[in-house]
Amino acid sequence: MVSVYVPIIMKTHGHKKVSCQQQRALLHMGVKSHYIKVFFEDFWKQIDVWLEQGDQLIIAGDWNNDIRKKKFLENFTKRNLIPAIHHVHGNELPPTYNEGSKPIDEIFVSSTLKINACGYLPHGSSLGDHRPIWVILTEIPF
């Protein structure tokens, strides 16, 4: 089980913003690449290690991307990771950030897991500013 937060690209700067903290940390380590590029390079490298070891994955996250977009889904699809909520409920998904206009939260699962049910809870059903996401899975027998 992996929990992910992908920071957004900020239009304004401030030393307390997550993106600025991450970029500053990378610069301190001598890494000049953009923090989101570094995030996804490291993320896919670790996902590939787990998949090569035969692990089944459940990856839940605030992706800060429209999770329905083909370009965003490419790397997941290539690794047989299924967007559970999108797969079950289709393209007509609600905004998941309370001030947003599109679904940016999703749970990706290994294709060896059966999605029994999944979805979003309503805004305001938790302390956060996103709809909580959930999935019920079982292993597909071989």
CATH of the domain at 68: 3.60.10.10
Domain that holds residue 113: 2-139
Q: What is the DSSP letter of 17?
A: S
Burial-class residue 125 by CB neighbours within 10 Å (0-12, 13-18, 19+): exposed
The pLDDT of residue 91? 94
Count: domains in the chain: 1
The pLDDT tens digits along the chain (142 residues) read 999 999 877 666 666 677 677 777 777 888 787 788 889 999 999 999 999 999 999 999 999 999 999 999 999 999 999 999 999 999 999 999 999 999 999 999 999 999 999 999 999 888 899 999 999 999 887 6
Task: Give the largest Cα separation in the chain, rounded.
Answer: 51
The pLDDT of residue 74? 98
Rounded CA-CA distance 18/20 in Å is 5
The pLDDT of residue 119? 97
